Amino acid sequence: MKRWISLWLALFLLCGCAPTGKEASSSQKPLPEGPIHLLVWTDGETDAWEAIAAAYTDCTLEFVKARDGDENSRALRAALAGKEAPDVFLLQAKDLAAFKASCEDLSAENWVNNAPAGTMTEVQDGTMIFAMPAKIEGVGFLYRKDIFSAAGINRENINSFSRLCDTATLLAERIRDGAFADFKNLKSVFGIPQEIGEVAEKFLPNIALSAQFDGTSRLLREKLQELEQSQALKSFLDLQKQYACFETDPVQALKSGEVVMTLASHTAADGETVGLMPVPVPDGAQDCLMLQVPQYWAVNAEASAEKKKAAKKFLAALYTDSALETAVVHDWGIVPPFGNFEPETEAGKEVRRCVLSGRTLPMVTDGLNEEQLSEIGQAVEGYLTDRETFEQLTAQLLEILGG
């Protein structure tokens, strides 16, 4: 079928804005005649979508996005309620529950069996799977390659928690003794953020708890009684307490040479000075990356049978059709959740290696609401700053997760 890209896309590139759902339905321009209209929230990644539309020949693709300044979920809801509702759309992870009723069941699709462990739990409702991971991010230790090299440290050897502790002790001693003359700003082994955020709310507790409970928040709640004996959580937090400093922006502190390591997404690694290292987990069998899924694809449950079929075929092709590989990994710049596409960045390749070797951890905190995450973050921060004991921390976690 003839490839066609909506005139709207050209207008987006020229003026930097696009209509919301209501405005889209009142447009005087006719919709394309193809069997599928793809609505994506591009966040400025228009080159990727244009490249995908040009490379995919099975149907016509049209791309729209929320107007600059509009809140994505509100604009998407308006679009789905309009006369020209999208057939396929990207969902932010935080919006999954709110849009579940608008999503078609994808449980019969072949890719379901290839999704990395822990990435599907939040889109499962009984036997129904209502969304597909759009991209994955690996959370681990970002580290300064040059400081490791100066200390004679081979990061490949840091594959157990005891070796991570030994490495932290060695680095701390050398920082204290002034052994890093070429790194005058260096002051601490680890950097953690001053402001409560996803590091305290999700990353720090999750690294230990996901290995112990092997599941998501729903499984975690079923085993709350084990939390009080969670030496894995205490060991990991204690290591941070002993060798970390609080930074306004730990990733920036890492890049400026003030700290050696910090927990963060692989997307912040540059591959030159800053690398990505899987996290050795207390009581865990191996070093792992924690996987998070920031966006999901969904198919409109109200679309026609023909369009649903075309939409599902497109989503399957997006990560497997070699004609789309450059557009996906280069123009979009993601780590695909499955398929054979090789990520372009060094950190992205590390994420893929860990996925293929089964060295990943799920987010046990997925599915918790913002209030619960904030309370977890405050509880973790209280322990890290010695305002509360570990017993008080676990009591708060039991109350938060059991509520």
Whole-angstrom distance, CA of residue 397 vs CA of residue 147? 36
Handedness of CA 270, 274, 278, 282 (dihedral sign): negative
| Token code pair at residue 67 | 């107007």
| Token code pair at residue 179 | 């052994």
- How many CA atoms does the CB half-sphere of 234 hold within 13 Å? 13
Whole-angstrom distance, CA of residue 216 vs CA of residue 118? 7
- Find all residues with CB under 8 Å of 165, minimum gap 6, and list them: 239
Please tell me the predicted confidence (pLDDT) of residue 397: 83
Band (pLDDT 50/70/90 cuts) for residue 29 is very low
Q: Percentage of the chain surpassing pLDDT 70?
A: 80
317-341 pLDDT tens trace: 999 999 999 999 998 899 999 988 9
pLDDT, mean over the chain: 81
Please tell me the predicted confidence (pLDDT) of residue 109: 96
- 8 Å CB contact between 365 and 201: yes
SS3 content of the chain, % helix, strand, coil (to 5): 45, 15, 35
> Which residues are 132's β-sheet partners?
297
- 8 Å CB contact between 157 and 151: no
243-299 pLDDT tens trace: 999 999 999 999 999 999 999 999 999 888 999 999 988 766 678 898 989 889 999
pLDDT(12) > 80: no
Please tell me the predicted confidence (pLDDT) of residue 14: 31
pLDDT(28) > 70: no
Please tell me the predicted confidence (pLDDT) of residue 60: 80
193-214 pLDDT tens trace: 988 788 877 888 777 677 555 5
Please tell me the predicted confidence (pLDDT) of residue 40: 55
Band (pLDDT 50/70/90 cuts) for residue 6 is very low
Whole-angstrom distance, CA of residue 396 vs CA of residue 270? 37
Handedness of CA 18, 92, 328, 276 (dihedral sign): positive
Please tell me the predicted confidence (pLDDT) of residue 128: 95
Please tell me the predicted confidence (pLDDT) of residue 220: 55
Band (pLDDT 50/70/90 cuts) for residue 66 is low
- 8 Å CB contact between 216 and 366: yes
The pTM of this model reads 0.83
- Closest Cα partner for 240 from 386, 398, 33? 386
